[in-house]
Amino acid sequence: MRRTILERLADGPCAVGELARDLPISRPAVSQHLKVLKDAGLVRDRAVGTRRIYQLDPAGMGALRAQLDRFWGQALTAYKEAVEQPEETT
């Protein structure tokens, strides 16, 4: 669900009601997911009248991207090493 919320925010800033539209969970549940994403530094919010508008936090998304790139690089290195090892014959 959080990934879906992030995908929707990638299209632009949204209020909770807009994010909750067409999701199989309630607005309060979307708010809880947004709190987790905000605590993780992936989204930020601002008050506009009585609504809170959420958007992706570029710094947090950049940090996530860097972490995923490191993980992917390590996985590819491990795969390369495994493939290049000579086969053992029994």
Query: φ, ψ for residue 25 (rounded to 5)?
Result: -130, 165
CATH number at residue 76: 1.10.10.10
Is 89 a domain residue?
Answer: no
* Residue type at position 15: A
Is 90 within a domain? no
Spans in the chain with pLDDT lower than 50: none
Q: Give counts: helices (H), strands (E), the chain.
A: 4, 3
How close are the terminal C-alpha atoms of the chain, in Å?
A: 48
How many structural domains is the chain composed of? 1
**What range does the domain containing 33 cover?**
2-84
Query: Given this model, what pLDDT does residue 89 score?
Result: 67
Nearest to 6 by CA among 31, 48, 42, 35: 42
Examine residue 27 and state whether it is found in any structural domain, yes or no: yes
pLDDT in tens, 14-38: 999 999 998 999 999 999 999 999 9
Is 37 within a domain? Answer: yes
Q: What is the pTM of this model?
A: 0.77
pLDDT for res 90: 64
Tokens of 48: 């506009």
**Considering the domain boundaries, does residue 6 fall inside one?**
yes
The pLDDT score that the predictor gives to residue 36 is 97
